């Protein structure tokens, strides 16, 4: 098991090396952006074809420390069942060492990520809490830094980011099966997760086979994917296809709403694309090891699939992919629209 309290302390230690955050400004922005989000909600509902019962949306311009605290709790709920299975047979003294070492690793990772993340809605998805009315999070200081660095009008880039996160809120609260389906995929992955010595040997074999075939063995989801068995890989493929569509759809909807709502939207989109692709060699290495680059591909691949569907059919047809889990594209179909259209009879 991981000492999550220690992980949080380590992450906050990393955060303490960043420029000081303005708590008063974060509170003011939370109020202003909540008003903006509530006002733009009908436009996002119209563009997405998804409606929710909320008339007002709570936006929380969070500090980096608050983001760390929320995500630590989420990861604890996700990983503790897996880690319990993996460490049951490990001697107590080694378990204690692993607990501290894992905490330091996660703490450093979360601290590093806290200066990269812009917005987030999905932290609540790892819990069994009712998602209705859940707030939308924006890591305010990261948004402020980008606005200042690029001489954007204060608040403009934050509003643009919110359109993406509001779309995620509609996906999980307005599609009646989405939250439960997402949790079921996570549960399937967790339930079958148990790392044993044979899994480590199998991971080594996988690395060799993938390299011989000319493929990157950690392209799928980072280094963690190496330890997945066949059943787990099937679960991971379903999660990957779902998240690719959700992220692509959020960008798809955001681009349509932003055209009539946000000045400089095209400039923001180009800057974020460059930000996702760029970074130092160390940043790129960490991204590959932990699967963050796979997350970046989800935005691009999902958006490309949906834009092609809209071009061949219509924006209304894009909404039909959320009819049920069966109408979602598979990982393979996301790169082959024609196969998807044939399967759904369109």
pLDDT of residue 80: 73
Query: In percent, how much of the chain has pLDDT > 70?
Result: 72
* Residue whose token pair is 């809490």: 129
Distance (Å, whole) CA 81 – CA 180: 19
Give the Cβ contact number of residue 19 at 10 Å.
Answer: 9
- Pair 11, 70: CB distance under 8 Å: no
pLDDT band for position 277 (cuts 50, 70, 90): low
Domain residue spans in the chain?
4-193+228-343
Residue 330 in this model has a pLDDT that exceeds 70: yes
Distance (Å, whole) CA 60 – CA 44: 19
Count of CA atoms in the C-beta half-sphere (13 A) of 309? 30
In eight-state DSSP terms, residue 193 is: -
Residue 72 in this model has a pLDDT that exceeds 70: yes
Read off the pLDDT of each residue in 25-39 and give the average, rounded to a whole number: 97
- Pair 48, 98: CB distance under 8 Å: no
Question: pLDDT tens, 148-187?
Answer: 999 999 999 999 999 999 999 999 999 999 988 988 887 7
Phi, psi (5° rounding) for residue 221?
Answer: -160, 30
Distance (Å, whole) CA 72 – CA 176: 27
Residue 139 in this model has a pLDDT that exceeds 50: yes
């Amino acid at each position: 098991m991981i000492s999550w309290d220690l992980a949080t302390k380590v992450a906050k230690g990393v955060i303490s090396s960043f420029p000081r955050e303005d708590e008063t400004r974060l509170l003011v922005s939370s109020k202003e952006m909540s008003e903006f989000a509530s006002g733009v909600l009908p436009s996002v509902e119209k563009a997405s074809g998804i409606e929710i019962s909320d008339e007002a949306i709570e936006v929380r311009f969070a500090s980096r420390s608050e983001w760390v605290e929320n995500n630590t709790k989420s990861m604890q709920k996700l990983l503790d069942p897996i880690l319990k299975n993996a460490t049951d047979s490990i001697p107590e003294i080694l378990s204690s060492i692993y607990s501290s070492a894992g905490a330091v690793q996660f703490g450093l990772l979360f601290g590093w990520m806290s200066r990269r993340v812009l917005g987030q809605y999905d932290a609540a998805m790892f819990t069994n809490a009712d998602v209705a009315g859940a707030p939308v999070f924006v890591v305010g200081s990261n948004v402020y830094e980008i606005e200042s660095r690029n001489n954007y009008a204060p608040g403009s880039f934050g509003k643009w980011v919110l359109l993406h996160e509001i779309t995620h809120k509609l996906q999980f609260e307005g599609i009646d099966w989405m939250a439960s389906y997402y949790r079921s995929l996570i549960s399937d992955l967790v339930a079958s997760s148990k790392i044993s010595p044979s899994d480590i040997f199998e991971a080594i074999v996988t690395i060799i086979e993938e390299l011989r075939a000319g493929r990157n063995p950690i392209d799928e989801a980072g280094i963690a994917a190496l330890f997945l068995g066949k059943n787990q890989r099937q679960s991971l493929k379903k999660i990957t296809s779902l998240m690719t569509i959700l992220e692509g759809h959020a960008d798809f909807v955001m681009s349509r709403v932003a055209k009539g709502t946000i000045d400089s939207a095209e400039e923001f989109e180009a800057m974020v694309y460059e930000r996702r692709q760029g970074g130092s060699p160390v940043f790129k290495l960490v991204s590959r090891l932990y699967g963050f680059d796979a997350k970046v591909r989800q935005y691009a691949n999902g958006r490309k699939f949906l834009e092609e569907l809209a071009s061949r059919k219509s924006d209304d047809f894009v909404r039909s992919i959320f009819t049920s889990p069966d109408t979602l594209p598979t990982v393979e179909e996301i790169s082959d629209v024609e196969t998807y259209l044939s399967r759904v009879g369109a």
